[in-house]
Structures are given as C-alpha cells and as structure tokens.
C-alpha cells in the first residue's frame, strides 16, 4: 500500500503543469487560454484541498491529540491558496497581466513551501501516528479521488 505522501504526491503531480501553462498563456496575452487553464487548475485543486482537510488531517488530529499544529497551519495555507486563485481569476477577467503574474508567482512559492511541509513533515508524522489506521485513511482518499 502506498503511503499518504505517495498518494498526495501523485495527486499533486496531476496539477503541476496547469499553473505554469496558465502563467505562460497570460504572459503571451492569451487571456482565453489562461482563463481556461486556470479554471482547470482550480477545478483540480479544490477537491484535493478539501480531501486533505476532511481525511488525513482529522485522522491525524484525532490520533495525535494535536488540534492546532501542524494541520491548522496547512488549512490556513489552503485558504491562502484559494484566495490567490480567486484574485488571479479576477486579474484574468480584467486583463491585468502584471497583477496576474505577481499573484501566480506568490501562489507558486506558497504551494512549493506548503508541499514540502506537507510531504516532508506532516505526512511522515502522520504515518507514525496513524499506524495501522493509515491504510484506511489512504483507501478513503483513493475513493474520493477516483469517484
């Protein structure tokens, strides 16, 4: 059975090309393509973020007794990502290339840092804390991802 980190990494890779492609399209003033790619990215990210918040995070909190760290920090970053994506969608609509590209750069940096913390800290700790319960968490994540 894969680890929680393996599953999350596979899920994240599905989104990895969409954001830079949207940024490139916006850089070329191709707003329609940028809007489409950004929409696809948002559609791919929304269930991923929600899944993390409803499955591995609560399982970790229940088993570890830790309610505020590190999962609350991860949720806060998820909210920041959602906010940046909303602002990017507005920037595309307003044809504000500079704002869009700045927001995209901020989002990219936030996502890279978040992914490192999630995969190299939270999920490694979760593997230890969850023990045998880990497999049922992964199966629940897979059921949501593939439904």
Write out 86-108 in H/E/C secondary structure. HHHHHHHHCCCHHHHHHHHHHHH
Q: Alpha-carbon distance 15 to 38, whole Å?
A: 10
Write out pLDDT tens, residues 44-85.
899 889 889 998 999 999 999 998 889 999 999 999 999 999
Global confidence as pTM: 0.90
**Contact 63/130 with Cβ under 8 angstroms?**
yes
Domain parsing of the chain, residue ranges: 4-145
4-145 topology per CATH: 1.20.120
């Amino acid at each position: 059975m894969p680890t929680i980190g393996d599953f999350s990494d596979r899920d994240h890779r599905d989104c990895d090309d969409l954001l830079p492609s949207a940024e490139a399209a916006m850089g070329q003033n191709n707003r329609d393509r940028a809007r489409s790619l950004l929409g696809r990215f948002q559609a791919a990210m929304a269930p991923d973020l929600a899944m993390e918040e409803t499955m591995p995070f609560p399982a970790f909190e229940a088993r570890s007794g830790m309610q505020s760290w590190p999962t609350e920090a991860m949720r806060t970053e998820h909210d920041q990502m959602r906010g940046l994506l909303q602002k990017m969608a507005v920037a595309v609509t307003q044809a504000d290339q500079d704002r869009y590209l700045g927001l995209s750069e901020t989002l990219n940096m936030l996502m890279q840092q978040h992914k490192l913390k999630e995969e190299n800290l939270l999920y490694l700790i979760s593997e230890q804390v969850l023990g045998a319960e880990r497999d049922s968490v992964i199966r629940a994540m897979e059921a949501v991802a593939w439904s």
